[in-house]
Amino acid sequence: MNQWLLVVNVGSTSVKTQAFDVSLQSQAVLVADYGDTGHVSLDGLDGCGRVVNEQLGVMDDVAAVLAAVLARWQAWLAATEAVLVAIGHRIVHGADWFETITPINPAVLVRLAELDAYAPLHNPFNRLGVEQTLVRFPDIAQFALFDTAFHRHLPLFAKRYAIPESLSATPAFFRYGFHGLSCQHSLSTAAQWLGVMPSALNLIILHLGGGASATAIRAGLSVDTSMGFSPTEGLMMAGRCGDIDPMILLTLQQQGMTLAELNRVLNHQSGLQGVCGDTDMRRILQHAQAGDAKAQLAIDMFCYRIKKYIGAYCAVLGNVSALVFTGGIGEHAAIIREQIVAGLEPLGFVLDDTANQNLNLKTGGDISGVGSRARVLVIPAAEERVCAGLMLGLLGHDG
């Protein structure tokens, strides 16, 4: 009997879904991308190994797209005669309320609705995925998996903001951190590659994609991370500004900018987009190589801010077992890795240029150079597989 675990990740511009068997091998994947235009494209691989590449035209909202995706999964399950044993939902923000994989029940649904205040750009979409999937698959065990959970036990001195604690009870303003599922995968994979237990590792993990974060791990536990109360803090990203002087926002508000306009600027019109007018690092690199000064500035700013966090986290950790690159940019942009690591030899990081340029993009690998005191690793992200593995563990499967 072919048993599947389905992972659902609903965002503001895409619905990502993937099914795994109980040995954590991918069985089918379906991604609906609708960006800012409303034109929906479906891509993936169905349960019979056939490539999916379709255009669904324009759909009114995320709910309609999600309904179309879930209907495909119902049809695929029927066609393959696979048995769906569990569904996991990736949830961006769990605040201080959730620190591990959580079975979904009516009380949890109430809590999920309350979390909308913590991540209004993300959690409402995540919750919509939960609600629609419960309707489509009412008899299947379903679980919430939180990106904040990995950072749940940050030290208070790293977690607390230097503002009055009484400002807000809900939401509570603390550093929660994100990309936790990605960090968990990087930690466990680095431990396997280096032949040690996760608790023996001090890591700096750079998850570099449309969203970007740096995380410091001491003895297998997150002790600091660049994203904070929201994913907007920290590194420069595709459309997010990252660290910014808060007085800029007050000044813009005094000049008449509304809250909605501020939100759009901070989360969609800043970062790479704000500096060079593009969010795709592949195109930005091409433009820079062709002499585009704004594109080169965006690259230099992106790498410089990451380099500063690496230095800070080296100070926090004392000694570092490995520097880990993951995420779309971290895995695929060799020139970005080169620019970030350049000059970090005094901190113990040396790159092997040949290994960096000839990296196996599917498996990643060790790109450390001769004399590097710490390893430099590229680990392909696999958050969905992490979700499936956590479900298997809770259900009592070996995985």
What pLDDT was estimated at residue 4? 94
Domains delineated in the chain: 3-146 (3.30.420.40), 196-383 (3.30.420.40)
Q: Mean pLDDT across the chain, nearest whole number?
A: 93
| CA distances from residue 291 to 288, 329, 333, 373, 381 in whole angstroms, order as listed | 5, 21, 18, 36, 32
pLDDT tens, N- to C-terminus, the chain (399 residues): 689 999 999 987 788 999 999 999 999 999 988 765 567 888 999 888 899 888 877 776 888 889 989 999 999 998 888 899 999 999 999 998 999 999 999 999 999 999 988 888 789 999 999 999 999 999 999 999 999 999 999 999 999 999 998 898 888 999 999 999 999 999 999 999 999 999 999 999 999 999 999 999 999 999 999 999 999 999 999 999 999 999 999 999 999 999 999 999 999 999 999 999 999 999 999 999 999 999 999 999 999 999 999 999 999 999 999 999 999 999 999 999 999 999 999 999 999 999 999 999 999 999 999 999 999 999 999 999 999 999 999 888 654
- Tens digits of per-residue pLDDT, 108-151? 999 999 998 888 878 999 999 999 999 999 999 999 999 999 99
Distance CA 15, CA 65 (A): 8
What pLDDT was estimated at residue 37? 59
Could you give phi then psi for residue 98, rounded to 5 degrees? -130, 125
pTM across the whole model: 0.93
Q: What is the DSSP string of 345-366?
A: GGGT--B-HHHHHT--TTT-EE
What pLDDT was estimated at residue 60? 67
324 and 340 in contact (C-beta within 8 Å)? no
Tell how many helices (H) and how many strands (E) occur in the chain: 14, 14
Catalytic site residue from 61, 96, 139, 147: 147
Which residues are bridge partners to 179 per DSSP? none
20 and 26 in contact (C-beta within 8 Å)? yes
Sequence-ordered alpha helix ranges (H) in 93-204: 106-114, 123-136, 156-159, 180-194
What pLDDT was estimated at residue 19? 95
147 is catalytic: yes
